[in-house]
Amino acid sequence: MADEPVYDRPGVYEIRVKGHLDEQWSVWFDGLTLAQCPDDVTCMTGVVADQAALHGLLCKIRDIGLPLLSLNRTGEKIT
């Protein structure tokens, strides 16, 4: 379905939060890969289905009090 706007299609997102979280949290964040980066930052990356799923993730981040630093769409889902 080429007509769908890009943000309604699954895409790869990178979410950066303050503080190190280990890989054990991956399940909680719907399977995103968690990497510990410099400056006490955790990078979560992975495929997010659509806008609703993205907002769901952001709510989870909000609800455990994680400070959100940045959010990027880095590419299309590779099929």
Partner 1 sequence: MPSIILKTKLYIPPLRPEAVPRPRLLRRLDDGLTCKLTLISAPAGFGKTTLLSAWVREMRAAWVSLDEGDNDLTRFLSYLVAALEALQPGAGAAALTMLRSPKPPMESVLTALINDIIDIQAPFIFVLDDYHTISAKPVHDAMVFLLDHLPPPGDSGAPRQAMHLVIATRADPPLPLARLRAHGHLNELRAADLRFAPDEVAELLNRAIGPGLAAEDVAALAARTEGWVAGLQMAAISMQGQDPAHMADFIRAFTGSNRYVLDYLAEEVFQRQPESLQTFLLQTSTLDRLSGPLCDAVCDAAPHESQATLEHMERTNLFIVPLDDQRRWYRYHRLFADLLRQRLHRLYPAQVPVLHRRASLWYERNDSVAPAIEHALSAGDFERAAGLIDGHAEMLWGHGYQATLLKWLDALPGDMLEVRPGLCIYYAMMLFVAGHLDRAEAYLRAAEQSALSGEHRGMIAATRAFIAMYQGDVASIIRFAQQALAQLPERSVVWRSNAAVVLGDAYSLSGDLEAAVQAQTEALAVSKTIGNTDLLLLAAVKLCMLLLAQGRLRQVAELCYQYLEVAGARGFAQTVRAGELSSILASILYEWNQIDEATQYARRGLALAKRGDNISALGLSYLVLGRVLLAAGDMAGAVQTLHDLDVMVEHADLPSWLVGGNAAWRAQIWGIQGRFDDALQLFESFGVGADDDFSYARQDFYLALAGLLVDQGDPDKALRLLARLLAVVEGAGAVGRLVRVLTLQGLALQAQGHETEALAALGRALDLAEPGGYARVFIDGGDARPLLRKAAAHGNAYARKVLGAVGESEPSASAPEQPPIDPLSARELEILRLLNTHLSSAEIAGELVISVNTVRTHIKNIYSKLGVHGRTEAVEQAEALDLL
Residue 52 binds partner 1, judged by CB under 8 A:
no
Which residue of 63, 74, 78, 79 would you call a contact of partner 1, by CB under 8 A? 63
Residue with smaller CB distance to partner 1, 68 or 73? 68
**Are 60 and 29 a contacting pair, CB within 8 Å?**
yes
> Min. distance of Cβ 21 from partner 1 in angstroms?
5
Say how far apart CA 36 and CA 17 lie, in whole Å.
Answer: 10
Q: Which residues contact 41 (CB under 8 A, 6 or more apart)?
A: 16, 17, 18, 19, 20, 69
Q: Given the rule CB under 8 A, which residues bind partner 1?
A: 17-22, 24-25, 27-28, 36, 40, 42, 62-67
